[in-house]
Chains A and B, each alone.
Chain A
């Protein structure tokens, strides 16, 4: 594993040097938090089941971060590194191919986690965010969701021949997921028809899972979400393992 941690460290720096990736992971969720927080505040109300807007939105914004690092960032970074020949250059060194992919996973996971912590800390400090769940369960749900969406990102990078295609595919999947899953707009406000479509968005299951665990649902109440996300993980890994190309 020589050089692996150095590669991971360099990849973190590279991530933060891309304004668009850093924006969607670190800045945009906070903008939403402060926008809706300043409009609605965090006063408990019956519409959100006796909780405040921020209490319900914060776990949903976590899902938004996961969706953007997985479907956008991973897919674009990996496919453009392949297209430009960066992966080829790495392959000509003793660095193991798995280490190149693992470094991407670690770096994007850390960035997702960092974005999440930044968001939670801001919500807590500014709006007195309430937490009724178990931290371990939330971390478990967060980790599974993140890895599933990373697998989806690798799947996109594997099936797309060019970085441009991966970018388009990522956006085509990310934005409907973003708006129809409840990650940005609370699901409680959706009309029936939109709710029906929402069920087919993988990110909806991340939102449901994290919102549930946030208020202390037992893990057993979210078997469907765990099953869907585990399925996405297996599918993503299987397709990537078969279709991924280094050049």
Chain B
């Protein structure tokens, strides 16, 4: 991960709405050229954080530096250099796609050519379509185009792929990678762990306005220390007790011809396969189940329900 000058630097960010502390002491930094993801349950403080960085909301505490600027003081100058895709926003119903791009391009000193953007986002056939006539996915792609219309150094994507079908989601991911390949920094929030795992260099897990974890997806999964499960089928006469003694194995279960073995360690599967082979056991359908970011997320935010209310 190229960590030259940070694109974003946040120290002890705090923002409350009335008595609710939406964000409370959040600190992190994002390197230039990084794809940085923020995940957390609904109401965890993701949108509040991202909107403070964009200069759309004013935090009451903490130090903020975005592209070397303070969003609270230099909002105008900052917005010239960032691209923003908001979670909730719209355009007037009767505004046509080309009018929106032409209009938004005119707000910036150095706009990018917007026609190639439409091609890249596969909405060039909708140039003359009114906003209200676009599908959810087309609207989303238009908003991405608007976020890129000033050729920004840093792009904020809040819930980029919510409401998109799997195909559209994949093509968004390709697009985000393409943005980064042009040397830009991407800050995104998502509640799809799969998305964070595939896309992000580093992931910040936030809950109740606090940072719960911050690392690469692989390190987060490794840090979970959760068990790997090895599943296979063997003939009914097979006695799995011998496997119990292998290093790292915590549990072995047998149910008919299905065997499930749980344990820890990167070499667990090697031990198991070697032991089975050495004993001449004929096994089939061997597969492993690795913990993924979903497990990390559930483990880290376990005490909160879907609605963000503590259980």
Contacts and interface: CB of A to CB of B under 8 A. Distances in A.
Interface of A: 2-3, 6-7, 10, 13-14, 17-18, 81, 84-86, 88-89, 91-96
Contacts of A7: 103, 106
A18 B106 CA distance: 24
B79 A92 contact: yes
A18 B89 CA distance: 21
B172 to A, nearest CB: 19
Interface in B75-102: 76, 79-80, 84, 86, 88-92, 94-95, 99, 102
Interface of B: 54, 56, 76, 79-80, 84, 86, 88-92, 94-95, 99, 102-104, 106-109, 146
A6 B106 contact: yes
A92 B56 contact: yes
Contacts of A89: 86, 89-91, 146
A22 to B, nearest CB: 11
Contacts of B56: 88, 91-92
Contacts of B146: 89
Contacts of B107: 2-3, 93-95
A88 B54 CA distance: 12
Nearest to B104: A93
A91 B146 CA distance: 13
Given A6-B103, A89-B89, 10 more contacts: A3-B104, A7-B106, A13-B99, A84-B89, A86-B90, A89-B146, A91-B56, A93-B107, A94-B79, A94-B80
Contact of A17 (B79, B94, B108): B94
13 contacts: A3-B108, A6-B103, A14-B94, A86-B90, A89-B86, A89-B89, A92-B79, A92-B84, A93-B79, A94-B76, A94-B79, A94-B107, A94-B108
Contacts, number: 64
Which of the listed residues A18, A86, A93, A95 has the most CB atoms from chain B within 10 Å of its own CB? A93
A92 B57 CA distance: 11
A14 B76 contact: no
Given A93-B79, A93-B104, A95-B107, A10 B90 contact: no
B90 A14 contact: no
Contacts of A10: 95, 99, 103
A91 B90 CA distance: 12
Contact of A88 (B80, B86, B106): B86
Contact of A3 (B76, B84, B99, B106): B106
A92 B154 CA distance: 13
Contact of A86 (B79, B84, B91): B91
A3 B183 CA distance: 28
Contact of A14 (B80, B86, B89, B95): B95
Contacts of B103: 3, 6-7, 10
A10 B56 CA distance: 24
A96 B109 CA distance: 14
Contact of A2 (B54, B90, B108): B108
A160 to B, nearest CB: 18
A99 to B, nearest CB: 9
Nearest to B105: A3
A92 B92 contact: no
Contacts of B88: 85, 88
**Sorted from nearest, which 6 A-B pairs have the closest CB atoms?**
A85-B89, A3-B106, A84-B90, A3-B107, A92-B84, A89-B89
Contact of B106 (A2, A84, A92): A2
A17 B106 CA distance: 22
A91 B92 CA distance: 14
B86 A18 contact: no
Nearest to B149: A93
A17 B94 CA distance: 7
A81 B86 contact: no
Contacts of B80: 94
Contacts of B76: 94, 96
Contact of B108 (A81, A91, A93): A93
Contact of B92 (A6, A14, A88, A94): A14
Given A10-B99, A92-B56, A85 B109 contact: no
A96 B95 CA distance: 20
Contacts of A17: 94
A141 to B, nearest CB: 32
A18 B94 contact: yes
Nearest to A99: B107
A93 B77 CA distance: 10
Nearest to A85: B89
